[in-house]
Amino acid sequence: MRKVVSMLKKYEFILRNLDCANCAREIEEKIAENEKFERVVVNFNTLKLTYESENENRELIEKLVKSKEPDVEVIDVKSKATKEDNKINFQILRLILGMGMAGIGFLAGLPSVISNIFVLIAYVILLYRTILNAIKIWKISKSINENFLVTISCFGAFLIGEPFEGLMVIILYEIGKILEDKAVHKTRNSISDLMNIKPEYANLKTNSQTREIAPEDVKIGDVIIVKQGEKIPLDGIVVSGEADLDTASLTGESKLQNVKIDDKVLSGSVNVQGILEVQVTEKYENSTVSRILELVENATDKKAKTETFVSKASKIYTPIVIILAIFVAGFLPFISEISYAQSIYRALIFLVVSCPCAIAISVPLSYFSGIGKASKQGILIKGSDYLDALKNIKQIVFDKTGTLTKGEFEIKEVKVYDADYTKERVLELAVLGESFSNHPIAKSVLKSCNIEVDLSQVKAFEEIVGKGLCYEIEGKKVWVGNRDLVQTEIQEKGTTIFVKIENKVIGSLIISDMIKEGTKQAIENLNLLGIKTKMFTGDNKQVAEEIANDLGIQEVKAQMLPTDKYNEMEKMLKQKQNSDKVAFVGDGINDSPVLARCDIGISMGGVGSQSAIEASDVVIMTDKIEKIVEGIQISKKTSRIIKQNLVFAIGVKIVVLILSTLGISNMWQAIFADVGVTLLTIMNTLRILSIQ
């Protein structure tokens, strides 16, 4: 019986020396089989093992890991020791020594017996690690992997009188593995460089002195000093100083941001010029930089359909090829004129080709690269499944306020409908109510008018979702909101806030909202991509249609409550084609039900907004709509490269298998079909990081 998930704790470890994506999948499945562990994920891209359990069970975890990969070490996440360079250097030295022994054996012109001794020494030097791993895995789990296949191929070649071919198999295999390790390591480092935003220390101010401490040790309310050239380690409010900040690592924007006293600053930003004293408002684990790094690092744990399919296919691929190899070795002499030695040689080629590393590595690495590149552009994508889905968007729905427009309203005009009231009094009554509201329009109105009021007069304040608000003053009921709230037939051109006392509408505020820069071009680009653009808004129909026409949005629905948006999204999802995706773009707070219900929820202006990150699948770290177009382009490029890698890898393997059956290909081609193809697919994957 499985454990109750709510009682489990999450644990994380690093799997050092894990250099095979297929092995990562096998380790994940092996641990998941044990009933003590839930939600097991082995992320080959980050070398991280995560699972949930009642206890850490580290000894059991290590045993299960080594049952599949004896060389893999389970180490703490905080450990900085990687031994990558030492491991690769040792492999290179062993390779050179083995090749030297082989060269003496074949080329030195020594007596036959001595030459054979040198050849055997070369076999031992080059194959001992592979043989030991194959034996350990067979002994522990009674299973075979590429170590076993390569060992059988090399010894088989030696036994049928082709010792040179056998040595070339292991030499080319080792060269390929070294290059493969370097390529994978380079990809991981490239993505790490893209996301190199984690601060190493914080300058904590204590009385008149400062001292360096870890960001994790800083408490809310502490004051830290950020000097020129340093990263801001935690989110906070500037209490002293002025500086220009580089926020490119968070938003992808190169323009510097000037901050001064009372401005909010985000961790991960770099102080380019000036000095700041910042009062911390969030613990490190809740800071912007921590949440971004966690989101990006865990994104590829959510696998796309392509990734899942490849993982399942690789399970049956190798057994099928092994069965075919046995058939070739045993039955080919019966249906042709070749000898058993020749049929065995061809079967050995089958075994070398059967290793699925190229397929197993290239797909997850491509998604990881795509997510890393998007992050550098200020686009946080929560999983490879969402990255994959972006390319299939056929309809995209936008909220208006704060998404297409700035959400910063200005009062254009104050109108009076009752001679007993003045413009000043109408404005004052509106401000009294809006002062208690957190709605973006309310905040903008207050900022725009800038008048002082006595808030102690307000009684029984109530906010009415999607309509406005009401309160009591001097024993009278006041409503401030849209036409539906005050129930009036009065029509005004533009967004209107009506003010009603008791049963009489006494006036209104005509407000305007500015369209964001670059939005029109972004909508045009989406239309050119064949994506149908729509707008859902609670604003009146006339204002909504004016904005939609100006931007080129194809369809608009106005005067909608949050429930109306949700119900309309339900209809769209029922009517769409199976493979098509419907996206919704909103602010991540008011539109969270729709963001959660649609195929792809995209939050705008997500910097520092926890609700935006939680509600959506994609978070745009700036308010720029054009980032959506960039995300779609990254998705399409990633998908193209994955298809290229799969077609190339599978195609080459099939060709070599057919040619080996016909006796045309040899071990050289077989090694290329394994490690050579793996290396080329990894190098092709690196192209994702160069997307402009």
- Six-digit token string for 461: 């304040």
Please tell me whether residue 214 adopts helix, strand or coil conformation: coil
d(CA 119, CA 167): 8
> Would you call 399 a catalytic residue per the annotation?
yes
Q: Residue 78: which region, alpha, beta or left (left: phi > 0; alpha: psi -120 to 50)?
A: alpha
Please tell me whether residue 138 adopts helix, strand or coil conformation: helix
Instruction: Classify strands 476-481 and 495-501 as parallel, antiparallel or unpaired.
Output: antiparallel
- Six-digit token string for 387: 């990255």
Residues in the chain, overall count:
692
Q: What is the DSSP string of 38-70?
A: EEEEEETTTTEEEEEESS--HHHHHHHHHHH-T
Instruction: Classify strands 405-416 and 504-515 as parallel, antiparallel or unpaired.
Output: antiparallel
Q: Judge contact between 618 and 627, C-beta under 8 A.
A: no
Instruction: Classify strands 393-399 and 270-280 as parallel, antiparallel or unpaired.
Output: unpaired
Q: Which residues of 361-387 are buried (b: 16+ CB within 10 A; e: fewer)?
A: bbbbbbbbbbbbbbbbbbbbbbbbbbb
Instruction: Classify strands 379-381 and 600-603 as parallel, antiparallel or unpaired.
Output: unpaired
Please report, for residues 450, 502, 511, 537, the alpha-carbon distance to residue 434 in angstroms, rounded to integers and kept in the order given. 12, 18, 14, 20
Which residues, in sequence order, are bridge partners of residue 496? 510
| Tokens 């049963």 found at | 503
Instruction: Classify strands 581-586 and 393-399 as parallel, antiparallel or unpaired.
Output: parallel
Backbone dihedral angles phi then psi of residue 477, each to the nearest 5 degrees: -85, 130
Return the biggest CA–CA distance within the chain. Answer: 120
d(CA 594, CA 165): 62
Angle of CA points 272, 274, 279, to nearest 5°? 100
Q: Judge contact between 362 and 685, C-beta under 8 A.
A: yes
Please tell me whether residue 489 adopts helix, strand or coil conformation: coil
H helix or E strand, kind and range, residue 279: strand 270-280
Q: Judge contact between 122 and 101, C-beta under 8 A.
A: yes
Q: Residue 268: which region, alpha, beta or left (left: phi > 0; alpha: psi -120 to 50)?
A: left
Angle of CA points 63, 66, 72, to nearest 5°? 125
d(CA 454, CA 448): 18
d(CA 515, CA 532): 20
d(CA 248, CA 255): 8
d(CA 313, CA 310): 5
Q: Which of 399, 587, 617, 623 is catalytic?
A: 399
Please report, for residues 7, 73, 440, 654, the alpha-carbon distance to residue 38 in angstroms, rounded to integers and kept in the order given. 11, 21, 42, 38
Which residues, in sequence order, are bridge partners of residue 274? 243
Catalytic residues: 399
